[in-house]
Amino acid sequence: MHKTLVIEPHYLGSLEYFCLLSQFQSVKLEVSDFFIKQTYRNRCYLLNSQGRQLLSVPVWYGQGTTYKDVRIDHSQSWRKDHFRAIGTAYGKAPYFDYFMELFAVLFEKKFEFLLDLNVHSLTICLKILGISLQMTETEAYYPQVEAGETDARNMILPKKEYSFRDIYRPYTYIQNFGKEFEPNLSILDLIMCEGTNAFGVLKQSVK
């Protein structure tokens, strides 16, 4: 078990993200860097009857806006849209009724900042998975991490397939849709389909 991982918080992070988290005792969340668009900071992927579905949280930010200062754009109906999309994708999944109430708060509460939404979602997922992590946040941005820390900032990106990184390997489980297994979706897919066995599948998915 490694000591401390330094990484940015993701929105309902991927299996790859949680495979990495599961190998550490503590995580330092990078919240002081500049916000980067088209990353997992504000997007995730589900699986519905049509295949992979992108969910993206609309945000307000300018050039040089730090992650912790990025605000959610509530002029768009994203909360209702995401909640409906999750229900459509996983309403008939084995563990939807058991766990959806925990996730509902993400869409019922009007979070002002993206960071607060993501930390809340991360906390929920870690609790369900039974992963105990000491969690802190950066107070300033430093290009280099401290001794004993592993730097994974901006490592897991949607534009570069997981196969290019040595973190995650697809370990199949029964998904709600599709004849072929769809790898590296949001952790939500694994939780809704496998429930209490989700951590066991995650352990088998560590490369």
Number of helices (H), then strands (E), in the chain = 6, 8
Kindly report the backbone phi and psi dihedral angles of residue 157, in degrees, each rounded to the nearest multiple of 5, phi listed first: -125, 145
Label residue 2 by pLDDT band (50, 70, 90).
confident
Q: What is the pTM of this model?
A: 0.96
Q: What are the structural domain ranges in the chain?
A: 2-204
Asked if 124 and 141 touch (Cβ cutoff 8 Å), the reply is no
Q: Tell me the per-residue pLDDT of 157-171, one tens digit each, with 9 for 90 and over.
A: 999 999 999 999 999
Strands (E), the chain: 2-7, 24-29, 43-48, 51-56, 59-60, 71-72, 134-137, 149-151
Q: How far is CA 157 from CA 17, 44, 94, 125, in A?
A: 10, 11, 29, 20
Residues 120, 122: Cα–Cα separation, whole Å: 5
- In the chain, the percentage of residues whose pLDDT exceeds 90 is 98
